[in-house]
Amino acid sequence: MSVCRTASKSVFLFLLGAMTASNATAMQDTIRQTGSARDFVILLHGLGKSSSSMDNMAAALSRENYLVINQDYPSREQTIETLALDNIPKALSQCRQDNSRHIHFVTHSMGGILLRYYLSVRKIAGLGHSVMLSPPNHGSEIVDLLRDNVLFQWLNGPAGQQLGTGKDSLPLQLDGADYSVGVITGNRPAFYDGYFAAVIPGSDDGKVSVDSAKLQGMADFLVVPLDHTFIMNAAEVIRQTIHFLKFGRFAQAEARKPAD
């Protein structure tokens, strides 16, 4: 009698477990097909930094139900081309495993150039919106000034050498955007970038001029009173980034529209 009860109990638990697993799978499939919870955002940090520099942005995006891949890469060790082709596919592969609906990007500084280069040679299925923070889209005069300096070369590696404004500038060799991208850049250099700011023509963030951040074909452009190094941590920048990922424009763009 007890053996039969034990066997019956085991069968019941097995069936219950199977049903639970089936329901969980069905629920996961439903989640994958609906809502922004299944939209991915890939973060690409800047030169000389690591993925930890994008942690605040990652946390904010996670709270908005995005699945975030904060991709680290050895920014000082390789060229921009190699960095892009080696590391962006790693992030994309994680999105594919979860049947992503849209894949968005948020980049800081040189991370934007990695994305531009990658999209010039590869297509991304399901590409959504991208936000570039302080990208040197036309290069930086700082690189022109310091490119022959041994310390600069050591600190910034081969990729850093590609970010000037001369004939060998990689950003200047890339086409404009034929995808949805918004650019946010700063115009208030930090005190420690005062010397660099004096070298850069026009308004700048201490590393990149406002004009250099602009990209032909961009959907929207926003200038904020912030410096280059920590722009990604500012609450307003994070708010505007999230707005662009959702709507393809910055929140302040609505105020620019003429009244009907």
User: In this predicted model, what pLDDT tens digit does every residue of 187-225 receive, in sequence order?
Assistant: 999 999 999 999 999 999 999 999 999 999 999 999 999
Residue 58 has pLDDT above 80, yes or no: yes
Mean pLDDT of 102-125: 96
Strands of the chain, DSSP E: 40-44, 67-71, 103-108, 127-133, 181-186, 220-224
> How many helices and strands (H and E) does the chain possess?
11, 6
Q: Is the pTM of this model over 0.75?
A: yes
Mean pLDDT of 38-52: 94
Residue 77 has pLDDT above 70, yes or no: yes
Mean pLDDT of 3-23: 43
What pLDDT shows up at residue 147?
A: 86
How sure is the predictor about 34, in pLDDT bands with cuts at 50, 70 and 90?
A: very low
First-to-final CA distance of the chain: 81
User: In this predicted model, what pLDDT tens digit does every residue of 237-247 receive, in sequence order?
Assistant: 999 999 999 99
| Average pLDDT value for the chain | 85
What pLDDT shows up at residue 253?
A: 58
